[in-house]
């Protein structure tokens, strides 16, 4: 699996993840280190995936970390630990989604840290949407369109444009081939562009 970048920081991060896993297996309290590292990321990811309220996000996050701990021996280092933990979070979120539909809300909290704006900028440029069209609308408009895509497109677009994962990481998280990731991203972008240009929003 190719590395996204090969900076020293990233390599150290990978080694630290493996080390944290070893420590957590030896001592349950050390699992707190993994929670510290991934709580914010996974919380944000689950919220973007499901667009549900904080309470539901926290419940799913707790279930996710329990599942991570229970299945810690499954991780074998063949791919990034972050991909593995994201996979568990994704599966938990999708299971909940299948059981009951949440009233989809646009979460505006992310505007506070500016991440949603960069998401809109990245996807706008990739789908070749005119800058004027974006600038006229709220970022919420783009996110609303994203929320109304089929789940399979939303999964890959969230991972690529919100979580900034590369194709191999997305493939490992969703357990699909890199080729399928590429196809879904392309089709998802096209669908998104159609939705945005249809002026439904």
Partner 1 sequence: MKNIKKDVLQKIQEQNIKPKPRWQFLLKSAFIKVIAVIGIAVGSIGFGIILFLFEANFVEFNLASGLGSFETIILSIPVVWILVLCLSVFIAFYNLKHSDSGYRYESIKVFAVSVVVSLLLGFVIYISGFSNVLSNAFADHIPYYSQLLDPRYAVWNRPSEGYLAGDIKELMVDSESSKLLLTDLSGKQWTVDYSNASVKGKVQLISGARVKIIGNVKSESAFSASEIRPWEGNGKKLQENL
Three-class secondary structure assignment of the chain: CCCCCCCHHHHHHHHHHHHHHHHHHHCHHHHHHHHHHHHHHHHHHHHHHHCCCHHHHHHHHHHHHHHHHHCHHHCCCCCCHHHHHHHHHHHHHHHHHHHCCCCCCCCCHHHHCCHHHHHHHHHHHHCCCCHHHHHHCCHHHHHHHHHCCCHHHHHHHHHHHHCCCCHHHHHHHHCCCHHHHHHHHHHHHHHHHHHHHCCCC
Calpha distance 48→80 (Å, rounded)? 22
Among 6, 28, 101, 112, binds partner 1 (CB under 8 A): 28
What's the token pair of residue 18?
A: 């493996």
Among 14, 23, 35, 137, binds partner 1 (CB under 8 A): 35
Please choose, out of 8-16, 33-41, 103-111, 143-151, the segment that lies near partner 1 by the rule CB under 8 A. Answer: 33-41
Nearer to partner 1, 62 or 197 (CB): 62
* Site for partner 1 contains 196 (CB under 8 A): no
Please choose, out of 90-98, 136-144, 169-177, 187-195, the segment that lies near partner 1 by the rule CB under 8 A. Answer: 169-177
Please choose, out of 6-14, 22-30, 115-123, 149-157, the segment that lies near partner 1 by the rule CB under 8 A. Answer: 22-30
* Site for partner 1 contains 74 (CB under 8 A): yes
What's the token pair of residue 77?
A: 């280092």
Least distance to partner 1 from the beta carbon of 152, Å? 14
Please choose, out of 9-17, 30-38, 114-122, 187-195, the segment that lies near partner 1 by the rule CB under 8 A. Answer: 30-38
**Residues touching partner 1, count (CB under 8 A):** 30
Calpha distance 186→190 (Å, rounded)? 6
Site for partner 1 in 77-136 (CB under 8 A): 78
Among 12, 18, 177, 190, binds partner 1 (CB under 8 A): 177
Phi, psi of 138, deg, nearest 5: -75, 155
Nearer to partner 1, 92 or 144 (CB): 92
Residues at the contact surface with partner 1, assessed by CB under 8 A: 25, 28-29, 31-32, 35-36, 39, 43, 54, 58, 61-62, 65-66, 69-74, 76, 78, 171, 175-180
């Amino acid at each position: 699996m190719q590395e996204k970048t090969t900076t020293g920081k990233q390599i150290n991060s990978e080694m630290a993840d493996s080390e944290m896993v070893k420590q957590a297996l030896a001592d349950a309290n050390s699992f707190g280190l993994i929670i510290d590292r991934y709580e914010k990321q996974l919380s944000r990811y689950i919220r973007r995936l499901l667009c549900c309220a904080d309470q539901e996000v926290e419940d799913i996050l707790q279930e996710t970390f329990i599942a991570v701990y229970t299945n810690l021996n499954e991780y074998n280092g063949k791919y990034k630990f972050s991909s593995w933990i994201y996979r568990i979070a994704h599966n938990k979120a999708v299971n909940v989604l299948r059981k009951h539909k949440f009233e989809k809300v646009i979460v505006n909290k992310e505007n506070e840290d500016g991440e949603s704006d960069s998401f809109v900028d990245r996807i706008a440029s990739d789908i070749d949407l005119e800058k004027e069209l974006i600038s006229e609308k709220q970022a919420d408009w783009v996110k609303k369109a994203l929320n109304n895509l089929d789940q399979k497109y939303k999964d890959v677009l969230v991972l690529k444009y919100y979580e900034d994962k590369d194709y191999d990481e997305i493939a490992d998280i969703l357990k699909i081939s890199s080729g399928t990731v590429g196809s879904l991203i392309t089709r998802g972008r096209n669908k998104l562009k159609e939705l945005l240009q249809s002026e439904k929003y």
